[in-house]
């Protein structure tokens, strides 16, 4: 006898998204580009669990990313970031908000590309600065010349984000809901191909 197909409502993955056990979406982009806020809203719409790499790191180390950076330095943070990314990208289907520097290492770019559908949330450094100028949480922006650093980081990383993500979503000039709608539509279309 033919097995009855599972009712659509029992699947965590809505119609339109391929029902691949390993379906994961990873949002990449600069700090302040909306990876967490957009990611939470989109994951709810897509019926995927939401995971934040920085939050996962903070749970593992029992302190904030900023104080970890101050005590142990950036290379130690990057090692942890690679470890957490690898674990999350080997786990259950989910939507992952990565840290802005996740694309700096080739091994991270490789694991992101091969184990998730990556989406780059692109934002101009002007928009990013308008959101981050009062930020006290991000260790790489706690400097007098933070605005210049942000601009330089955006220029340095843009090609890395682009080479990692098959989907690029421009966010300047678009509303929060507009970006979420675009993300859901693009991911759904891509996974149908």
Q: Which residues lie near ligand S3P (CB under 6 A)?
A: 31, 35, 54, 65, 99-101, 138-140
The distance of closest approach from Cβ of residue 187 to ligand S3P in the complex, given in angstroms and rounded to an integer, is: 20
Q: What would the two tokens of residue 189 be?
A: 């279309």
The distance of closest approach from Cβ of residue 136 to ligand S3P in the complex, given in angstroms and rounded to an integer, is: 12
Q: Quick one: 35 or 115, whose CB is closer to ligand S3P? A: 35
For ligand S3P, the nearest residue by Cβ is 99
Return the bridge partners of 96, or none: 26, 51
The distance of closest approach from Cβ of residue 137 to ligand S3P in the complex, given in angstroms and rounded to an integer, is: 8
Query: Apex CA 69: angle with CA 163 and CA 84, to 5°?
Result: 50
The distance of closest approach from Cβ of residue 184 to ligand S3P in the complex, given in angstroms and rounded to an integer, is: 21
The distance of closest approach from Cβ of residue 109 to ligand S3P in the complex, given in angstroms and rounded to an integer, is: 14
Q: Quick one: 23 or 68, whose CB is closer to ligand S3P? A: 68
Q: Quick one: 93 or 99, whose CB is closer to ligand S3P? A: 99
Q: Quick one: 86 or 190, whose CB is closer to ligand S3P? A: 86
Q: Quick one: 24 or 138, whose CB is closer to ligand S3P? A: 138
């Amino acid at each position: 006898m033919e097995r009855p197909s599972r009712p659509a409502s029992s699947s965590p993955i809505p119609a339109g998204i391929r029902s691949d056990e390993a379906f994961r979406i990873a949002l990449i982009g600069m700090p302040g580009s909306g990876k967490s806020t957009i990611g939470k809203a989109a994951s709810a719409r897509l019926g995927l669990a939401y995971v934040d790499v920085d939050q996962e790191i903070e749970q593992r180390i029992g302190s904030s990313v900023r104080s970890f950076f101050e005590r142990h330095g950036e290379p130690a943070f990057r090692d942890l970031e690679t470890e957490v990314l690898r674990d999350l990208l080997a786990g259950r289907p989910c939507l992952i908000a990565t840290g802005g520097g996740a694309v700096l290492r080739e091994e991270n770019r490789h694991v992101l590309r091969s184990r998730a559908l990556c989406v780059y949330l692109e934002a101009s450094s002007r928009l990013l600065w308008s959101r981050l100028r009062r930020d006290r949480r991000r260790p790489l922006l706690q400097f007098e010349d933070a605005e210049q650093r942000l601009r330089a980081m955006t220029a340095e990383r843009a090609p890395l984000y682009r080479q990692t993500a098959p989907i690029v979503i421009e966010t300047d000039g678009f509303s929060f809901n507009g970006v979420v709608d675009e993300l859901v539509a693009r991911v759904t279309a891509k996974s149908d191909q």
